[in-house]
Amino acid sequence: MRAFIFPGQGSQSVGMGKTLAETSPAARAVLEEVDAALGQSLARLMAEGPADELTLTENAQPAIMANAIATLRAAGIDLAGKARFVAGHSLGEYTALCAAGTFDLTTTARLLKTRGLAMQAAVPVGDGAMAALLGADLAVAQAVVDAAAQGEVCAVANDNDPSQVVISGSKAAVERALEIAKEKGAKRAILLPVSAPFHCALMQPAADAMAGALAGVAMAPPAVPLYANVTAEPVESVDTIRELLIEQVTGIVRWRESVANMAAAGVTHFVEFGGKVLGPMVKRIAPDAQVTNVVTMDDIDALVKEI
């Protein structure tokens, strides 16, 4: 049994999508549709940079989605016939829903542009921070943020795998957490080069913006169930998906639990489209699972032959 999974922010790189678009008409059509939806040449930015502009949240989010969907469509795979579930990390949840037919491509691109702008605008630059706790599990991370908050926002943002948890919040609280993490046994605690504190209560203005954006869009039930970030459980109801996408902006990404629950449900093969970020996490969560990363045309050709 397979699950198709889709990466989140941080997986962008200059050159992404370029060879796909040159080689596959289906991939090129994806990038052209996204450009038209956004009224900008995102495909050129993806192919040529500059890197600092591509890394901007408002560009990185639709770019990562476009690249993953281009990869999937270049493969020409019938998702419902080849995958039992879909899942995505943070913004990757929108990609997963696009792949499963809940949102069309144009809608997905516009939602992610709105989401990126709203998340960036929610907190003034410099007021928030995020940090990765390495060699720490969820229980340790929760103890760290509880001790570090001291009346400010400090929360677990991403429970990525058994040895990597990301925290988020006000800058002072996250900086306190760096020292506390070492005292509580984390191997390393490092600030992340991000422009905003994602997946914590400081993102409430962005959650409100997404509530408005999602209220008016057409949605269809996904072709296969989505394992949702905030519940780590499968969901198919359109109304529930909408609510969870809003909650996701401020809520924890329960990736470790999602993968573990998919494995417990019988998934033995995880296929990551458009990146190589989630695969290593999956192997740390479900060591016996097969993981395939699909990024290049050679990867696509190998996958098509395999499945």
Angle of CA points 169, 242, 153, to nearest 5°: 10
Main-chain dihedrals φ then ψ at residue 24, nearest 5 degrees? -115, 120
In the predicted model, what is the mean pLDDT of residues 17-37? 97
Asked if 96 and 4 touch (Cβ cutoff 8 Å), the reply is: yes
Residues 76 and 18 in one domain: yes
Looking at 138, 161, 194, which one is the last position of a domain?
Answer: 194
Query: Angle, to 10 degrees, between the axis of helix 255-264 and the axis of helix 278-285?
Result: 60
Q: What is the mean pLDDT of the chain?
A: 96
In the predicted model, what is the mean pLDDT of residues 60-88? 97
Residues 215 and 139 in one domain: no
Residues 87 and 236 in one domain: yes
Whole-angstrom Cα distance, residue 273 to residue 147? 38
Give the residue numbers marked as catalytic: 90, 199
Looking at 175, 194, 213, which one is the last position of a domain?
Answer: 194
Q: For residue 99, what pLDDT is reported?
A: 98
pLDDT range class, residue 150, cuts 50, 70, 90: very high
In the predicted model, what is the mean pLDDT of residues 124-140? 95
pLDDT over 90 at 10, yes or no: no
Whole-angstrom Cα distance, residue 109 to residue 91? 11
The amino acid that residue 57 corresponds to is: T
Residues 28 and 81 in one domain: yes
Three-state SS for 170? strand
pLDDT over 90 at 125, yes or no: no
Residues 237-248 pLDDT 10s: 999 999 999 999
Q: Which of 7-11, 109-113, 230-234 has the lowest mean pLDDT?
A: 7-11
Domain around 167: 128-194
Count of domains observed in the chain: 2
pLDDT over 90 at 193, yes or no: no
In the predicted model, what is the mean pLDDT of residues 250-264? 98
Three state DSSP letters for 114-143: HHHHHHHHCCCCCCEEEEEEECCCHHHHHH
Whole-angstrom Cα distance, residue 156 to residue 230? 12
In the predicted model, what is the mean pLDDT of residues 232-255? 98
Residues 102 and 223 in one domain: yes
Share of the chain above pLDDT 70, in %: 100
Q: For residue 194, what pLDDT is reported?
A: 85
Residues 99 and 172 in one domain: no
| Residue 99 vs residues 163, 165, 170, 266: alpha-carbon distances, Å | 29, 27, 35, 21
Residues 232 and 132 in one domain: no
Residues 259-274 pLDDT 10s: 999 999 999 999 999 9
pTM of the model: 0.96
Residue 192, exposed/middle/buried by CB under 10 A (0-12, 13-18, 19+)? middle
Tokens 């990562």 found at: 64
Q: For residue 216, what pLDDT is reported?
A: 87
pLDDT over 90 at 28, yes or no: yes
CATH of the domain at 47: 3.40.366.10
Looking at 194, 222, 242, which one is the last position of a domain?
Answer: 194
Whole-angstrom Cα distance, residue 107 to residue 109? 6
